[in-house]
Amino acid sequence: MQQWVFLAMAILSEVIGTSALKAAAGFTRLWPSLIVVVGYASAFYFLSLTLKTIPVGVAYAIWAGAGVALIALIAWVFMGQALDIAGIVGLALIVAGVVVLNLFSKTVSHP
């Protein structure tokens, strides 16, 4: 169970770091830039802990897929980014892929 907490922390950290990228303005603004660096450093740290028990391909697929979906949702809700039907369908397919990996893949270690 601990590996899933580490993976969730990796995803959350990456989403926080990515969300601050625009505000960092090419790393010209101090506080948003620090959030980006700390976010990504934390993400890779927690991802490395995850990889002790979850195969790299599975962990990375979940990390990347969940991160993409969450960032798109944050951009839509908080940054006014438009999502058309193709974007919504694509994000739904990403989420479905993560769910399939978690529920049906024999390479994912479940306690």
Give pTM, 2 decimals. 0.88
Say if residue 110's pLDDT is above 60: no
| Residues contacting 21, CB < 8 A, separation 6+ | 32, 36
**How does the average pLDDT of the chain come out, rounded?**
92
| Helix locations, 1-111, DSSP H | 2-19, 21-24, 30-50, 56-78, 85-104
Please give the pLDDT value at position 106: 77
pLDDT reported for residue 99: 86
Residue 109 scores a pLDDT above 80: no
Mean pLDDT of 2-13: 97
Tokens of 51: 């990889």
pLDDT value at 111 more than 60: no
